[in-house]
Structure 1
Amino acid sequence: MLYAQKSPAEKRRLFRERLDTGRIMRFPGAFNPLSARLIEQKGFEGVYISGAVLSADLGLPDIGLTTLTEVAGRAKQITRMTELPAIVDADTGFGEPMNVARTVQEMEDAGLVGLHIEDQVNPKRCGHLDGKQVVDEHTALQRVRAAVDARRDPNFLIMARTDVRAVDGLQAAVDRAKRLADAGADAIFPEAMASLDEFAAIRAAVDVPLLANMTEFGKSDLFTVQQLADIGMNIVIWPVSLLRLSMGAAVRALDELHATGSLDAKLDEMQHRADLYELIDYEGYNRFDTSIFNFDVAR
């Protein structure tokens, strides 16, 4: 009932323990708090909170228009609704190194187990679009060092994302991944790798955990969890998949409603009311205080 029972500190400790085992963890992207709870119900290991999804939720493109306050606030709403660890996309840290430091502490306060900071110029753009630009190495390392210095919980994960592969090639990505790890990054997110061999090259270069982004319609092929596990990846995300599926279903439903005036033909595609009530735990609220919550759950 209400929010997660685990404290943020406990979530971070358990997440770090699981990460240390080397077993790959699956983090589907939640597009709202309810979908985070569904991810937990279905047995996944974690929840990812995508900057692209948060932008799209506001009707905005993923080009650095969202603010720290907006992202931290929505991330808190999502992560408090699940017992699972949640990692958030913090873009470029919302400014200069001091802003990066504040971002880390805001995300700690929001209950996340970690975040990733990227090395694009500010404002950034989606990692799978053409025309990206990355900052120089000194600036990229400054961001990581500021993030590491700012955290108060040593279990809070500082992940460094590098977009340099699409700009300067694989060897530049390998070199930058090494330097980011040396600067204190707990994990590396190599964005827009073109093949399993490229992921493997990053894996061979650094000893810290690695994240693979399996976003659809991008520059990376869609590898299976097992394929990624076999080359030593530690976390895999599907950042926008649930939003894309949901919006696709909404498009088809609206087309059906426009064409026929009814959604009767779509009933078998909908989440049943009883399933929604179970996910929200209506019964738990009902048991909590029947003098206040005195409704019956329809079956």
Structure 2
Amino acid sequence: MLYARSTAAAKRAAFRERLASGELLRFPGAFNALSARLIEQRGFDGVYVSGAVLSADLGLPDIGLTTLTEVATRTHQIARMTELPALVDVDTGFGEPMNVARTVQELEDAGAAGIHIEDQVNPKRCGHLDGKEIVDDETAVKRVRAAVDARCDPNLLIMARTDARGVVGLEAAIDRMKALVDAGAEAIFPEAMTSLEEFAAVRAAIDVPILANMTEFGKSELFTVAQLRDVGVNLVIWPVSLLRLAMGAALRGLDELDAAGSLSGLTGQMQHRADLYELIDYEGYSAFDASVFNFNVQR
């Protein structure tokens, strides 16, 4: 009832342990706390908090317009509602190294199990668009070092994302990844890889866990979990998928409502009220107050 039983520290430690096991972990993107509960219910390994999703949820493009406060608030809302670890996108860290340090501490306080910080310049853009620019090696390294130095809980995972593949090519991108690992990054997010062979090359070059971003309509083919496991990927995210599915369903619903004047033809595609009440544990609240859940939901 209410929030997760596990502490943020316990979730971080468990995340570390599973990541160290070498198994592939699946982190769908949660666009709100309710979708995070659903991800947990369906047996996934963690939840991903996407900067692109938060931007879209606010009606904004993914170009660094969200604030640290907005990201920390959404992270807190999501992380406290699930026993799963939350990996959070903090874009470029919201400023200079000192800002990066504060970002890390705010996200740690919000309950994140891990964060990733990228090497784009500001204003940043979606990693699967053309025209990206990356900062120089020194700036990228400073961001990672600031993040590592700032955390209070050593189990908070500091992951470095690099967008270098789409800017300077794979070989130079791997050099950047090595520099980020040397700076203290404990995992690497190589953005916009174009083939399984590229993931395999990254795996061969670095000895920390690597993440694959399986976002739709981007630079990467939508590889399966099995394919990614075979080339040594440790963590897979589907950052915007649930939001895209939900918005697609909303669009179809509005079209049906406009055309037919009723949604009776689509009720079979909706989450049933009974399933929603089960997901939010409506019945569990009656342990505190029997008047809260004193009715039957008809299916």
What's the TM-score, normalizing by structure 1?
0.98
Q: Work out whether residues 87 and 114 of structure 2, in 8 Å CA contact, stay in contact via their aligned partners in 1.
A: yes
Q: What residue in structure 2 maps to residue 293 of structure 1?
A: 292
Equivalent residue number for residue 98 of structure 1: 98
Partner residue in 2 for 1:234: 234
Distance 2:192 2:286 in 1: 47
3-state DSSP of counterpart to 1:172: helix
1: CA distance between counterparts of 2:23 and 2:288? 38
**In the alignment, what sits opposite 1:205?**
205
State the AA in 2 paired with 1:80.
R
Cα deviation for residue 163 of structure 1 reads 0.1
Residue 294 of structure 1 deviates from its aligned partner by: 5.2
2:85 aligned partner = 85
Given that 2:282 and 2:293 are in contact with CA atoms closer than 8 Å, whether structure 1 keeps it comes out as no
Distance of 1:226 and 1:123 partners within structure 2: 35
1: CA distance, partners of 2:216 / 2:209: 23
Cα distance in 1 between the residues matched to 2:162 and 2:269: 39
Contact 2:47 2:85 in 1 (8 A): yes
- Provide the residue aligned with 1:247 in structure 2: 247
Identity of aligned residues (%): 74
Taking the aligned partners of 2:65 and 2:108, their CA distance within structure 1 comes to 22
Q: Match of 1:85, as an amino acid?
A: P
List aligned pairs for 1:126-137, cutoff 5 A: 126-137=126-137
TM-score of the superposition, structure 2-length normalised? Answer: 0.98
Could you list the runs of 5+ residues in structure 2 that have no partner in the other structure? none
Q: Which runs of 4+ in 1 moved over 2 A?
A: 292-295
TM-superposed deviation, 1:298: 1.9
Report what 2:218 is aligned to. Answer: 218
Match of 1:70 in 2: 70
What is the rounded CA distance, in whole Å, between the counterparts of 2:271 and 2:293 in structure 1?
Answer: 24
2:26 alignment partner, SS class: strand
Gaps of 5+ in 1: none
Contact 1:163–1:190 (Cα < 8 Å) also in 2: yes
In the TM superposition, residue 275 of structure 1 has moved relative to its aligned partner by 0.3
Indicate if the aligned counterparts of 2:283 and 2:293 stay in contact, CA closer than 8 A.
no
Query: Aligned residue pairs: how many?
Result: 298
Q: Please say if 1:7 is aligned against 2:7.
A: yes
2:177 maps to: 177
Residue 16 (structure 2) aligns with: 16
Question: Could you tell me how far 1:123 is from its partner in structure 2?
Answer: 1.8
- 3-state SS of paired residue (2:148): helix
CA distance in 1, matches of 2:5, 2:296: 24
- Provide the residue aligned with 1:43 in structure 2: 43
How far is the alpha carbon of 1:296 from its aligned partner?
1.8
Tell me how far apart the structure 2 counterparts of residues 245 and 169 of structure 1 sit (CA, whole Å).
Answer: 32
Against the structure 1 CA distance between its residues 259 and 227, is the aligned structure 2 distance closer, same or farther, given a 3 Å change threshold? same
**Maintained 8 Å contact 1:133/1:167:** yes
